Amino acid sequence: MSISTNDLKNGMALNLPDGLMTVVEFQHVKPGKGGAFVRTKLKNVRTGAVVEKTFRADEKVGHATIDKREMQYLYREGDDYVFMDNQSYDQMNVSTKTLGDAVNYLKEGDVAVLPSWNEEVLGCDLPAAVELVVTETEPGIQGDRVSGARKAATMETGLVVQVPLFIEIGETLKIDTRTGEYLTRA
């Protein structure tokens, strides 16, 4: 299916010769001389690279419909993570390479949104913050309350996060999935 460049919107997915892209930004330009054109900033869905591309006004481009399915993470099988569709109960294996950094935040039973295109999973959309349990960290020493001092803590998924000195093993923490930073105790 193709659409006109005049109908572009932010977040729209396009199937271009360069690959599958989403529109980050676009601007219609009508110079005083010559034909109108559309200047865009596109993000490659697979690599995350952002490129600028200019199209003629009313040029036809391939439109891609990205299906976002809510799925529950069940268990890990080798290098794959097994997810179950919450509507159809179908199970699907997704490679750790496809999931990227999301593997640091997923624990069994968690629900995530998996965007896919033509049956190919493109990644994993996580909530802004997740709650994880501390499995390993140095013990906090009484009176060791230096303002802003941090120590490393290993979470149940294997993610290592810098946390305040008072955090102990077994505590549940809220972690920002965009930056991987400690937010607060849960």
What pLDDT, in 10s, does the model give residues 9-46?
888 888 888 888 888 899 988 888 888 898 999 988 87
Q: pLDDT digits over 118-145, tens only?
A: 888 888 888 888 888 989 888 766 555 6
Q: Are residues 16 and 59 in the same domain?
A: yes
Is 144 buried (19+), middle (13-18) or exposed (0-12) by CB count in 10 A? exposed
Q: Please tell me whether residues 46 and 88 are part of one structural domain.
A: no
Q: What are the residues facing 50 on neighbouring strands?
A: 43
CATH of the domain at 116: 2.40.50.140
Number of compact structural domains in the chain = 3
State which residues form the domain around 95: 67-121
**One domain for residues 99 and 141:** no
Measure the CA–CA gap between 130 and 150, rounded to whole angstroms. Answer: 20
Same domain (yes/no): 55, 10:
yes
The CATH number given to whatever domain includes residue 20 is: 2.30.30.30
The pTM is what?
0.71
pLDDT of residue 41: 92
d(Cα 167, Cα 151) in Å, to the nearest integer? 9
Are 78 and 103 members of one domain?
Answer: yes
